[in-house]
Amino acid sequence: MSRGGAPPRIAAGNLTQDLDLSQDELHELLALTRELKRSPQAFGRALAGKYASILFEKPSLRTRLTFELAFKQLGGDSVTSNGPIGAREPLKDVARNLERWTHCIVARTFSQRTIDELAQWASVPVINALSDLYHPCQALADVFTLLEQFGELRGLKLAFVGDGNNVAHSLMLDAPRLGIDFAIATPPGYEPNAEIAAAAAGLAAVAGTRLEVTHEPEEAVRGAQAVYTDVWASMGQEAEAERRRRDFAPYQVTPELLAKAAPEAVFMHCLPAKRGEETVDEVIESCRSVVFAQAENRLHTQKALLLMLLA
């Protein structure tokens, strides 16, 4: 996109999950993000007169504030509602109310079905700001952070250590389409969703990249340029927290584990972090940590996403 020109469009019209972005659109979004970060003032009125409905079933710091700031910095604004979505009235009614007031629906939900049903009924774009299966906005910020760190994505290896969760799913769907090898190490019983893993394997086969699912953290991180982890018990899994602490104890990202990665490897985490569980201060506060760059880039990649959906 040339400065001041029209941004590329997302053909799907939504971002309900990562594969709503084609491979070309994924590359275009990263290029637009770079331009937005370099020259934010050039896009300051791009969404003037546009408004978003932001719906949150789960608490949020980064997601909520970066989406609200993204709209404001692009000249638009947002309204936010907290609490269960569709509890007081059917989701199809919620969607058809919101489409008449605002130009976009951003939803952070417990269930992917909520996202899909909102998209089914709303005539405005729906953005998945986190569900049980996917976290596409986080993955976009993550791959952009890697692009900033290394200058090129093709040929990198990204290792994920921990739960085969929504963040892992989104990363394993985006990585092969950008030429990144992806390895994930989980305890037995915590592997990624089988259908999503199969889709990622198909993408990797087409791209000529490697996809590895293992139970050995050292094997996953060997030679990796990025080592990623996430909390062991996500929101909604509090009842499993003690069992998960036992099961995941061998999967903590320590300085010793990070040392088995490539010498230039960075440490990544989507935050919030449970320090002393999935990682330790010596890692997250080290010079190899890019966790706050990831958090900053949530703002920039989401601005690019909004422009491609709404401008």
Judged by DSSP in three states, 89 sits in coil
Q: Which of 230, 269, 294, 302 is catalytic?
A: 230
Which class for 264: exposed (0-12), middle (13-18), buried (19 or more C-beta within 10 A)?
Answer: exposed
- Letter string b/e over residues 277-288, b meaning 16 or more CB atoms within 10 A of that residue's CB: bbbbeebbeeeb
Neighbours of 212 (CB within 10 A): 16
269 part of the active site: no
Measured in residues, the chain has a length of 311
Tokens of 291: 């966790």
17 part of the active site: no
How many CA atoms lie less than 13 Å away from 286 in the CB half-sphere? 19
Q: Which of 17, 138, 252, 302 is catalytic?
A: 138
230 part of the active site: yes
Asked if residues 149 and 180 have their Cβ atoms less than 8 Å apart, the reply is no
Q: Which of 17, 181, 225, 270 is catalytic?
A: 270
Tokens of 199: 């889709």
245 part of the active site: no
Asked if residues 17 and 129 have their Cβ atoms less than 8 Å apart, the reply is no
103 part of the active site: no
138 part of the active site: yes
- DSSP code of residue 132: S
Q: Which of 108, 169, 244, 269 is catalytic?
A: 108
Q: Which long-range contacts link 65-70 to residues 24+ away (Cβ below 8 Å)? A: 66/298, 66/299, 66/302, 67/106, 67/129, 67/302, 69/299, 70/299, 70/302, 70/303, 70/306
Distance between CA atoms of residues 80 and 272, nearest Å? 21
Helix residue ranges, H only, the chain: 23-38, 62-73, 91-101, 112-121, 136-150, 166-174, 194-207, 217-221, 241-248, 255-258, 281-284, 291-310
Task: Give the active site residues.
Answer: 108, 135, 138, 230, 270, 298
